[in-house]
Amino acid sequence: MDSFLLNLVIQLVAGAVGGNAAGAILKQFNLGPLGNSIAGIIGGGLGGQLLNMILAGSGAAPAGAAGGGFDVGALLTQIVGGGVGGGVLMVIVGLIRQAMGQGGRT
């Protein structure tokens, strides 16, 4: 599997986990399991890619650039970027939903 696709899959899965974790912790923004997962997946992909661009722009080696070996740092970057991105987007969507007067799920 291409390293870009592998990184993207890791980011999407981590985003779904991050979105559901944020929904469990911040119940006032909870969108339900499906909503948390969808927002998390989208946020995970965006957050992971954004973190890759920031690291590449700072001169750090982009994830997957280490000559074919297993890079734990790159894996952690994908997981953290995806998880945080998923959680943040889930909270943003929850805030928008509350502002529109639909409230959170309990």
- What is d(CA 95, CA 26) in angstroms, rounded to the nearest whole number? 11
Cβ-based burial of 5 (10 A; exposed 0-12, middle 13-18, buried ≥19) = exposed
- What is d(CA 4, CA 64) in angstroms, rounded to the nearest whole number? 8
Tell me the average confidence (pLDDT) per consecutive run of 10 residues in the chain, 106 residues long.
86 95 94 95 92 78 57 87 94 93 62
Q: What pLDDT sits at residue 41?
A: 96
Q: What pLDDT sits at residue 59?
A: 66
What is the pTM assigned to this prediction? 0.81
Q: What pLDDT sits at residue 67?
A: 55
Sign of the CA dihedral with 28 first, then 29, 35, and 40 last: negative
Q: What pLDDT sits at residue 57?
A: 77
